[in-house]
Structure 1
Amino acid sequence: MHRLTVALLAAVDSVVAAAVGVTAVLAPMTLVWVFGLAAVDWGALWPASATIWQLGHLVPVEISLAEDYLVHAGVSDDAATFTVSLAPLAFTVFTAVAGIRSGIRASRAEAWMTGALSGGVVFTALALAVALTAANETAATDPVLAVVAPSLVYAVPLVLAAIVTEWREAAEGPVADVRDRAEGESGRWSEVPGEIARGIALSVSALVGAGALLVALAITVRIGEILALYQSAHVDGLGAVLLTLGQFAYLPTLIVWGMSFVAGPGVLLGTGAAAAPGGTTVGVLPGIPLLGVVPEATSTWLLLLVLVPIAVGAFAGWVARSRLATSGVEEWAPRIVTLVGIAAGAAGAVAMLSWAASGSIGPGRLAEVGPEAGAVALAVGLEVFVGAAILLLSPRGALAWMAGADAPDAAGFGAPDRASETVDLGTRGERPTPPLD
């Protein structure tokens, strides 16, 4: 495909990604302005929508409440200014997925650098336009971060997806040359980078899936508390719909919280409050219905959740060991490097997710909410390492025995060779002819 065509398609992808994200905020906000407010201030509609979009792309928002509002609401002056930085990750996920799709398309069009440059520049220009037009007195953002953070959310997945696709599919190009050189220098090491990447992807995907399953179970079990919080909010039909949409935007954030809970460290719920398998201390939380999933107490049986990341690591190790063995790699060094790479990569990935899913939601004790990235990374790294080590570093004969094959012989080299033991069953697909009487 012509490079100009690739550049135009990548630019269109970035425009669509930004436009859909902003519209997802602007549409319900317009309904509020039209049906929910007696005096419509159209001049505040766009800045409010744009600021929410920026928050969804990891841009902290500095809230400054007016003095008359503080008096009317009975709020102390200490809470007049605070930061909201807990991002609704649904926007982040959508933009990242859009970047991934654009990167894959540009790579398959054999012009991934052109597509990445075009898409990144156009999305950055759009983020700059949003930042310049979103300024308002109540909710302020750092002008540099308001451009850089959304741009990185889109550009980094785009470039990574393009490079991975090039590595896997391209026949020529800079990435293909590096791949061919790496595979040609040492046969026993050529499979290691791919198995590390595959193991990290499997581990992180499974952990996020475990977090999503935990959140689904918590919502099912504590649906009564969630409905009670809806009733206590005293909102009309339009307010209930908007409140639900806002909580859907934070659902990926809650899933990362669930992942952190499964890993063991749990999540902070404000200064001095936390929810973890080892124990829960819950203070006064905002009356958000979705926070009804947080239990007042936990059982010691939940400590068994630590087995989930270990099992995830074991599965990743089994996949890597099987593929390495198929390629004839049985030396210790490649397996050890693969093990360390999978554990370290999984730890780094969950640290980034935990950082993105934490922040501030209000003044005072609500300034620290979400998982601690360092603690979650350490826990997941150790757990995945233990699980993967069981399969990656076990003797080959032991793995064959666990898989149901014949037990290894005394020397530990596996079952005896049975290739010479053949049985004549006739032609394949036919029953053997019985003897004549």
Structure 2
Amino acid sequence: MHRLLVSLLSALDALVAAVVGVAVAVAPLMVLWFVVFGTPDLGAIWQTSAAIWHLGHAVPLAITLPAEYLAQAGIDPSLASFVLSLAPLGFAAFTFLFAARSGARAARAGAWLTGVATGTIVFTAFAVGVALTSAAEVVSVSLWQAVLFPSAFYASGLLAGAVRVAWTDGDEGIVDSIRLRLDRAGHAWPEVPGLIARGTALVVTALLGAGALLLAIALVVRAPQIVALSQSANLDGFGAVVVALGQMLYLPTLVLWAVAFLAGPGVGLGAGAVVAPGGTQLGILPGIPVLGVLPESSSPWLLALALLPVAAGAAAGWAVRSRLSPRGSSADAETTGILVALTGAIALFSALAAALLAVLATGSLGPGRLAGIGPDAAAVAIAIGVEVGLGAGILLLAPRRGAGAGRDTAFAPDGDRSRR
């Protein structure tokens, strides 16, 4: 009965997450359609909402413009078909965070495997239903991508939330057996996986916060350019609202661009155009108002932004070292091994997280030079790994004052820095 209740609650969570995600697209479209056209076309609204939901979960959309529209707009027929794949990550972020909450609750109930399995199955079933009922002539998606990508975001959130709680509180199952094996290693090794996760999470959170702050500053500084682009588009009320809502959904993506910028590699805008602290080269950009946030030139002083990932690594190193507790032998070789392992692991996993986020923030916004824009995942991963590793190493590997010969106070519990 206990597992049945967990299954029911996990299924309900999955259904709510999926429905709310689609409703975020359906509700404004319904209102706008009613205001502008009168009687809503429910079929068109559903197809459009599903396409937005799919794109928000990194599902590429294949766009095929009808011939009559090309003739009326005077568009080159060679540009009639293109792929739209730059995701408005607000949808994916909501799905992941909602799933993490559900997974954590299942873990607290002592049945996280059941909760993860049930939630994933229900969300996948919903994704299948959306994919099968939203086919359209203008916009099409690959069925396997439309099912797999949204489900992967939800399943990864479930696992992240469940494993975090199970590792902290115990689960009398897989996680506890892993911890038991680590406990047999002695010293502070059993704490290492949790400390690596804590340090990596701190780094990623700090980088996202720094990126959001940098984007906010850029929006204020570049506000005149954004307003000018908005005015030059000559949009009516309906168009202005649609563009504004679309730009809001892309704010998380722009935050990831800002992270790539402060890390150093910057953001590629296709056809050799790039925006980076070391140099900016802009070509002709589409008249999307929010792209006015991109600077037209760079200053060497902006290279100092690379200190922010270093500071994030240092903060993670301080947080991790302050939580190490004494276990068994305090031999210098083993102590140094643990600190080196923590430094390398935090740098590595931070780099992998940065690479994943860069991939999610890269894609196509249209035909031609817009077919591939966003940060270079490999370059961002290398830059973040080096910068975070440097900062973490400074705090983790530097000797502590008061450490006597043959001893290291790094493993003293919080509030106790006396010699042992």
Distance 2:198 2:32 in 1: 45
Alignment match, 1:152:
152
Count, aligned residues? 407
Answer yes or no: is 1:395 the counterpart of 2:399.
Answer: yes
Alignment match, 1:350:
354
- Residues 13 and 409 (structure 1 numbering): CA distance in 2 closer, same or farther, change over 3 Å? closer
Which segment drifts farther, 43-52 or 274-283? 43-52
* Native 8 Å contact 2:275 2:294 kept in 1: yes
Alignment match, 1:13:
13
Deviations 1:375-432, CA, capped at 9 Å, x for gaps: 10000001111111111111222xx6xxxxxxx8999999xxxx9xxxxxxxxxxxxx
Alignment match, 1:297:
297
Q: Could you say what secondary structure the match of 1:82 adopts?
A: strand
* Native 8 Å contact 1:55 1:85 kept in 2: yes
- How much does 1:248 deviate? 1.0
Distance 2:228 2:59 in 1: 32
**Structure 2 counterpart of 1:375, from 374, 379, 388:** 379
Q: Partner amino acid for 1:280? A: T
Alignment match, 1:435:
none
Answer yes or no: is 1:95 the counterpart of 2:99.
Answer: no
Q: Partner amino acid for 2:365? A: I
* Native 8 Å contact 1:271 1:367 kept in 2: no
* Native 8 Å contact 2:110 2:171 kept in 1: no
- How much does 1:39 deviate? 8.1
Alignment match, 1:105:
105
Which segment drifts farther, 370-379 or 33-42? 33-42
- How much does 1:283 deviate? 1.1
Answer yes or no: is 1:73 the counterpart of 2:73.
Answer: yes
CA radius of gyration, larger in: 1
- How much does 1:199 deviate? 0.9
Alignment match, 2:412:
none
Distance 1:40 1:194 in 2: 52
Residues 203-214 of structure 1 correspond to what in structure 2 (within 5 A)? 203-214=203-214
Distance 2:246 2:258 in 1: 19
Q: Partner amino acid for 2:385? A: G
Alignment match, 1:56:
56
Deviations 1:26-78, CA, capped at 9 Å, x for gaps: 11111232222378544322111111100101100000011111111111122
* Native 8 Å contact 2:257 2:361 kept in 1: yes
**Structure 2 counterpart of 1:341, from 338, 345, 349:** 345
Alignment match, 2:249:
249
Q: Partner amino acid for 2:311? A: A
Residues 261-340 of structure 1 correspond to what in structure 2 (within 5 A)? 261-324=261-324, 331-340=335-344
Unaligned runs of 5+ in 1: 401-407, 420-437
Alignment match, 2:413:
none
Q: Partner amino acid for 1:358? A: T
- Residues 356 and 2 (structure 1 numbering): CA distance in 2 closer, same or farther, change over 3 Å? same
Q: Partner amino acid for 1:202? A: L
Which segment drifts farther, 165-174 or 319-328? 319-328
Q: Could you say what secondary structure the match of 1:62 adopts?
A: strand
Alignment match, 1:403:
none
Q: Could you say what secondary structure the match of 2:322 adopts?
A: helix
* Native 8 Å contact 1:269 1:369 kept in 2: yes
Alignment match, 2:182:
182
Distance 2:178 2:238 in 1: 56
Q: Partner amino acid for 2:205? A: S
* Native 8 Å contact 1:347 1:381 kept in 2: yes
Deviations 1:59-100, CA, capped at 9 Å, x for gaps: 000000111111111111221110000000000000001110
Distance 1:174 1:275 in 2: 46
Which segment drifts farther, 240-249 or 39-48? 39-48
- How much does 1:371 deviate? 0.7
- How much does 1:325 deviate? 5.9
Distance 1:325 1:394 in 2: 17
Q: Partner amino acid for 1:273? A: A
Q: Partner amino acid for 1:332? A: T
